[in-house]
Amino acid sequence: MTAVAFDTLRFVRTLRDKAKMSSEQAEGLADAIAEAIQNDLATKTDIAAVRTDIEAMRLANRADLADTKAEIIKWMIGTIGFQALVIVGGIVALARGLH
């Protein structure tokens, strides 16, 4: 894991000199901040895991889109076929009505 450059000694001195904190308070706060910074870092393994998850989601979305596309095409062909039957039926009905 890479370390973040955090100068705890300088931070403690600044808290003591400018904020007028006691040495114990300043050191405790510096330790807490340094620990929080170290615990929140993402490692290369963490980033690789996230990339793997993103790739899996991308592939799943691609498969879902392909299924949706096939479903839309199926419904469109069915709708066009039904409209053709209605039109042919109307023309046949009009033709019989004219005779």
Q: Tell me, yes or no, if the pTM score tops 0.75.
A: no
Which amino acid is residue 35, in one-letter code? E
pLDDT reported for residue 3: 55
CB 10 within 8 A of CB 34: no
Residues 6+ apart with CB under 8 A from 43: 1
CB 33 within 8 A of CB 6: yes
Average pLDDT, the chain: 89
Residue 1 reports pLDDT greater than 50: no
